[in-house]
């Protein structure tokens, strides 16, 4: 079997396209809670890049303050899962949610102190803790779709990557 340079080049160009996940466009409106949480997530990613750089201390502190403000706003909204919680359990569910957000705000305050004091190791450890708490909170407070997956922040199931391949 003879393989030409052209077929190798074509394969190299097409392979990444087949391997890349194809996501359905999510045009649904975001809830106010999803908007706040999305802002926190975006700031969190930016903060991870800045926290170890003393020259970016002011920018990092501003991100932490913005995340804290967003968390305070998020506390005033009910998670989408609230609708599927039985009325008898709803008050406790919302109390647990608000306590979780209070813990997040407290962690942001500790993070602000660590960043302000230039304690990058402490700040990094807090970022790791916050990331873990995020996973836990999303499992507990995000509604699940009919397949057992968690819904996206806008109340819809997250899109799944398209399957590619050939039969045979």
- The verdict on residue 103 lying in a domain is yes
pLDDT tens digits, residue range 88-120? 999 999 999 999 999 999 999 999 999 999 999
Cα–Cα distance between 51 and 119 in angstroms, integer? 9
* Residue 42: other Cβ atoms inside 10 A: 14
144 φ/ψ angles, rounded to the nearest 5 degrees: -100, 145
Which residues, including other chains, have CB under 8 Å from residue 161's CB and lie 6 or more apart?
Answer: 21, 22, 23
- The verdict on residue 17 lying in a domain is no
* CATH number of the domain where residue 47 is located: 1.20.120.10
Mean pLDDT of the chain: 79
pLDDT value of position 105: 96
Does residue 26 contact residue 154 with C-beta atoms inside 8 Å?
yes
**What is the number of domains present in the chain?**
1
- The verdict on residue 34 lying in a domain is yes
pLDDT value of position 72: 97
- The verdict on residue 124 lying in a domain is yes
Looking at the predicted structure, is the pLDDT value of residue 137 above 50? yes
SS3 (DSSP) at 86: coil
State which residues form the domain around 66.
Answer: 30-141
**More confident call, 145 vs 94:** 94
């Amino acid at each position: 079997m003879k393989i030409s340079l052209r077929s190798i080049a074509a394969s190299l160009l097409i392979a990444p396209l087949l391997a890349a996940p194809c996501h359905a466009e999510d045009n649904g409106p975001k809830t106010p809670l999803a908007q706040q949480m999305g802002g926190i997530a975006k700031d969190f990613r930016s903060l991870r890049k800045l926290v170890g750089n003393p020259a970016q201390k002011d920018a990092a502190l501003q991100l932490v303050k913005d995340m804290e403000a967003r968390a305070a706003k998020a506390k005033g909204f009910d998670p989408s899962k609230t609708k599927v919680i039985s009325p008898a359990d709803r008050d406790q569910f919302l109390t647990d949610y608000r306590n979780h957000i209070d813990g997040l705000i407290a962690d942001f305050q500790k993070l602000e102190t660590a960043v302000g004091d230039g304690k990058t190791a402490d700040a990094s450890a807090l970022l790791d803790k916050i990331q873990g708490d995020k996973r836990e909170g999303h499992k507990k407070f995000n509604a699940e779709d009919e397949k057992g997956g968690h819904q996206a922040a806008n109340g819809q199931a997250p899109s799944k990557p398209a399957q590619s391949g050939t039969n045979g």
